[in-house]
Amino acid sequence: MLFKTVLKFLAITLSIVSLVSCVSKDKILYIQQGVKSDNNNSFEITIQPDDVLQINVLSENPEVTIPYNMQTTLMIGVSEENPEQRRQISYLVDSNGMIDYPVLGKIKLAGLSKSEAIIHIQNLLKEHIKDAVVNIRIMNFKFTVLGEVNRPGSFSNPSERITLLEALGQAGDMTIYGTRNNILVIRENNGTKTTQRVDITKPDFINSEWYYLSQNDVVYVEPNKTRINSSAVGPNLTVGLSALSLLVTIIALSTR
């Protein structure tokens, strides 16, 4: 009789553990309904202090652009078979938002979008190069993904346009325990840090300003209740079930 009671208790306990471990489909799936993309949702990087910029100036007359496209020589491994290589100089945006550019001197770019920065430099170049074409690229674009993902860490991105979903993909995707409807994004703009909770299960997520990440964004995926509960009672529950299993075995042997 005691043996049957213990077995019944064990079955009930295991059933409760199974129920607690269950996760609703609605808490796992990403964008759960169809949505039309908003073509007006344009995104453009804003230049910030500590950005490293590569700036290229082009013209029909390449000779006039030489002072504005300064290069440095790479001396590593130079030999007759491997001649010296030259690389375009990059410009660090300082804490005041300025770069020190050849001929033009100090230029403030922080707080400007890339297109605004390009127009600003083109206007400064007008008295020197009438048909100047300016290209700007951020060389140190990176972001960080933490929390319930398979490969947390900081990631560099060759492109300046990456979505939150792509960032999660680079981090190995969210684990089954990640909270899809309350992802925290930390962003700094002009020295001011802002935070935003993002629900990637909502269909209008792709039209929000947080669909694309900015450089140096930090993404934190919180654990869901299942993970929190299992971490709180998991070790003790495992020990308890092991002890209970041992007890059942002893009773079974003793009642033979």
State which amino acid sits at residue 77: G
Please report the pLDDT score of residue 6 as a whole number: 52
**Superfamily grouping for domain 27-42+141-223:** Outer membrane lipoprotein wza domain like (3.10.560.10)
- Given a contact cutoff of 8 angstroms between Cβ atoms, the answer to whether 85 and 74 are in contact is yes
Distance, CA of 227 to CA of 157 (rounded, Å) = 30
Whether 185 contacts 210, CB under 8 Å:
yes
Q: How confident is the model at residue 106 (pLDDT cuts 50, 70, 90)?
A: very high
Res 132: pLDDT: 94
Q: What is the pLDDT of residues 16-32, one digit of tens each?
A: 554 444 555 555 555 65
Which token pair is 42?
């344009």
Q: Which of 37-46, 161-170, 189-198, 234-243 has the lowest mean pLDDT?
A: 234-243
**What's the rounded mean pLDDT across residues 117-121?**
97
Domain ranges across the chain: 2-23+226-254, 27-42+141-223, 52-138
Domain 52-138: CATH architecture, name and number where available: 2-Layer Sandwich (3.30)
What pLDDT shows up at residue 229? Answer: 76
pLDDT at 256: 58
Q: Where are the beta strands (DSSP E) in 50-182?
A: 52-58, 71-74, 85-88, 90-92, 98-101, 105-108, 133-138, 142-147, 153-156
